[in-house]
Structure formats: C-alpha cells, structure tokens
C-alpha cells in the first residue's frame, strides 16, 4: 500500500479479517448509528459525511498520531551521551562491525536507504545449512513459510520477507514470521547464525539486546473515546451472507 489510507481499506474488506463484503455495506452500517452520523458530520460537513474514503481518512489520521519518539537512542544521537549505557554503546558498535546496517539502517532501522514505505525485502534464513542455523531452522520451523513467494509466485521470492523495523522491537515478542522465538536474546542468536554465519558470545548478545532496548520510544498518552451506541437494539447482520459475498470478492 502506498499510503495509510490505502492500507486501511484492506483489512475492512478482507474476508479473513473484518469481512465486510463491500464499501457500501460498511457505509450503510455506520449510517445506521446516530452517534457516527453526528461525529462524521462534525468533521466532514453536512454533505455526504459518511463515505468509505472518509472512514479510512479518519483511521489514517489517528494512526499518524501513534509515533514513539524520544527513545534513549534518539536522545543519544541528539547529544545526550548519558542516554545510552556502556553496554548499549558496545552493542551499537558490535552491530556495525557485523554489518547489520546493510539491512537495518535509516530512521526506522528497516532498510539501507530506500524511500519510506516502499519496503526492503531479504531472504530468511540466508544460511539454512549452516550447522548452527540448521538447528534453529528445525527447532523453530523457520522454513515452513514460503514468504513473499506466497504472493508473487516467483521462485526468487521463496523465503523472502520484509525487513522489520528495530524500533520498539523489545516490546514485540514473539519474533520472526511465525512467532516461534520467545525472547529477543534468542532472536539475536538466530539472526547471527542464519544471516551472518556467526556464533555470538553471551556478552555480544547482551550488548546487542541493550542497544535494541534503547530503541524503545515514549508512547503517546491516549484517552479512549466512548463509541457510539445503539440503545435498545442492535444492527443485525446476515453473517452467512456477508461471509459468502466476502469470499466471492476475495476470489475476484
């Protein structure tokens, strides 16, 4: 997707996610809730306030507030040299010496310089026959998922995945495409063995994890709204019909 608005349309209509059969049914459902009619009118005006484009515009506008700045690393690069521990600094140096920045670079640590939002894709695991990596492949089923091949059906995309951001990675366990690795420490060992052919020491793992911990930013404070209600009634949906239509649309 080339924008947050474009991305927001996908899950709503996808039959294995929210499963709405089409945009018109979504709009109709929202129009039946008085509270949403009032709220959309306040934001988008009186003329046709509830549209699919307005729905995804509202979602994307909210998503743009979900930024997590001012991590210890951010403060460090701005000049606060006390923001990182000695272990984190050593971890940063270790990562650079290993060449991890060939994939995990840029402001989001998810590409080596590609335009924001384009995605950077790499094969994983690169060295599945490395004896150390092979043990991880077997234990964590790392090659069961065909990766991007599942979408493109091109042999070159077999076991190719989008390089994930390191920001807030300490909060995102479990790790890897199948969620099979429970800890960041183990994930570091897997990446070292399977991508770089390296066996890392306990100290190197500890230092690298300290650096990755330093990429956890400050989360915005949110006041959750009270969602519009439908007093004394509910909007009944013909679930079986919706499911059938959604599946048919997905096949198209």
What is the set of active-site residues? 17
Are the beta carbons of 55 and 175 closer than 8 angstroms?
no
SS3 147: strand
Strands (E), 66-219: 121-123, 160-162
Measured CA to CA, the distance from residue 56 to residue 10 in angstroms comes to 10
Measured CA to CA, the distance from residue 221 to residue 68 in angstroms comes to 11
Tokens coding 193: 């063995």
Measured CA to CA, the distance from residue 129 to residue 111 in angstroms comes to 26
Tokens coding 92: 């940063």
Measured CA to CA, the distance from residue 115 to residue 163 in angstroms comes to 14
Other C-beta atoms lying within 10 Å of the C-beta of residue 78: 9
């Amino acid at each position: 997707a080339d924008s947050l608005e474009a991305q927001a349309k996908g899950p709503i209509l996808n039959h294995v996610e929210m499963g709405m059969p089409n945009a018109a049914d979504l709009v109709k459902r929202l129009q039946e809730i008085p509270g949403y009619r009032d709220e959309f009118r306040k934001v988008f005006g009186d003329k046709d306030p509830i549209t699919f484009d307005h729905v995804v515009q509202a979602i994307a506008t909210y998503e743009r507030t979900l930024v997590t700045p001012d991590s210890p690393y951010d403060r460090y690069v701005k000049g606060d040299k006390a923001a990182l521990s000695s272990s984190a600094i050593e971890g940063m140096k270790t990562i650079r010496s290993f060449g991890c920045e060939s994939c995990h670079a840029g402001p989001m640590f998810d590409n080596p310089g590609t335009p924001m939002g384009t995605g950077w894709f790499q094969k994983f695991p690169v060295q599945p026959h490395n004896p150390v990596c092979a043990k991880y492949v077997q234990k964590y089923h790392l090659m069961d998922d065909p990766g991007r091949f599942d979408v493109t059906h091109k042999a070159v995309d077999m076991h190719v995945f989008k390089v994930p951001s390191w920001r807030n990675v300490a909060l995102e366990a479990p790790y890897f495409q199948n969620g099979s690795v429970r800890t960041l420490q183990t994930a570091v060992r897997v990446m070292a063995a399977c991508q770089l052919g390296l066996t890392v020491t306990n100290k190197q793992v500890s230092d690298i994890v300290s650096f990755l911990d330093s990429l956890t930013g400050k989360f915005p404070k949110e006041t959750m709204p009270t969602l519009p209600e439908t007093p004394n009634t509910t909007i009944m949906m013909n679930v079986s019909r919706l499911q059938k239509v959604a599946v048919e649309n997905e096949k198209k």
